[in-house]
Structure 1
Amino acid sequence: MIVLGVILLVVGFVTGLSILWTIGIVLALIGIALWVMGAVGHEVAGRRHYW
C-alpha cells in the first residue's frame, strides 16, 4: 500500500492531477499506519504481522 501510494504521488506530480496526488497521500499514510501497528505488535485485520 505504501508503494502504491508513492507511485500515485509521483504520477500525480508528473501529470498535474491533484486527485492522484491526494489518493497517493492517503494510501501512503494508511500503509505507514498499518506497518507501524504491525511492527509494534498490534494485530491488524486479524494478523499479527502486516507486510
Structure 2
Amino acid sequence: SRSGREVTELIHDLHQQGHTIILITHNNAQAEEADRKVRIQDGFIVSDEKVIR
C-alpha cells in the first residue's frame, strides 16, 4: 500500500540519519531490510544475526 511504502521510506531515512530503529514485524520483506535480525519465539530469543551487505 502507499502508506506502507511511505512508512518504510521514513524508517529508512531516519536510519540513514543515524537513528536506531527497532521494528517488530511479521512481514518478512520488511525484516529483510534490517542490518540485524533478532528472532523471538514463545518469548525466547532463538536467533540473533547481523546482516552483512
* TM-score scaled by length of structure 1: 0.42
Structure having greater relative contact order (Cα 8 Å, sep ≥ 6): 1
Which structure features the higher share of helix residues?
1
Which structure features the higher share of strand residues?
2
